[in-house]
Amino acid sequence: MNLNFTKVAEDLINYGWHSSLDFFPNSLLEELRSTLLDLNENELFRPAKIGKGIKQKRVTEIRGDWIKWLSEAGDYPSTKIYLEIMNEFRLVLNRQLLMAATEFEAHFAIYPKDTFYKKHLDRHNNNPHRLITTTLYLNKDYQEEQGGSLVVEDLKQNHIVTLNPHWGRFVCFISSDFPHEVKTTTVKRYSLTGWMRSS
Ligand code: OGA
Ligand code: MN
């Protein structure tokens, strides 16, 4: 596998974010999508909540996705390879961005038709350990009318970029610097989102 970690690291250094369509090989995307569908078939996804600990609650007016953490998903070759890649990537980022991320965590997400995730920051007082956000989209034959784009702003509310959840799109950004939202999707929307964490 010939993954261009350096290009992603350079974008993170220069702009704070990165997007590309060919970071992961197509064969791995196919396997990850099959794993997601398999987990969903077995009803292992749970409604995503907001807040932390006992204050966690489901608020569909804020986020409507269903998630499955890879750490709880059992042994799948696809997620094993994905986590190996992302942990190698973590070490590259630690070197290039002078970070000290000690782990990478990730969950599959399914946004049912007509759901969204309102504007938020991934790193905040409740969750101070997230350093880098990564998202990989697993939507075959994506069409613009399906919606579900990721809209990214900076901390001064300037629009930075709008990215559709196209098959294989890999997005990373510095978790503390980019408020973002997921626009309403008109079809089921599949993704694999993760964070490089400081602990
Ligand atoms: C998240 C999130 C973005 C996306 O899960 O925190 O912002 O495009 N996901 O799925
Ligand atoms: Mn987010």
Tens-digit pLDDT profile for the chain (199 aa)? 768 899 999 999 999 999 999 999 999 999 999 999 999 999 999 999 998 888 889 999 999 999 999 999 999 999 999 999 999 999 999 999 999 999 999 999 999 999 999 999 999 777 899 999 999 999 999 999 999 999 999 999 999 999 999 999 999 999 999 999 999 999 999 999 999 999 8
- CA dist., res. 189 & res. 41, Å (int): 15
- CA dist., res. 26 & res. 28, Å (int): 5
CB-ligand 1 contact for 149 (6 Å cutoff): no
- CA dist., res. 139 & res. 169, Å (int): 9
Atom of ligand 1 nearest to the CA of 180: 7
Atom of ligand 1 nearest to the CA of 191: 10
Atom of ligand 1 nearest to the CA of 48: 5
Whole-model pTM: value is 0.96
CB-ligand 1 contact for 150 (6 Å cutoff): yes
Residue 155 has a pLDDT of 97
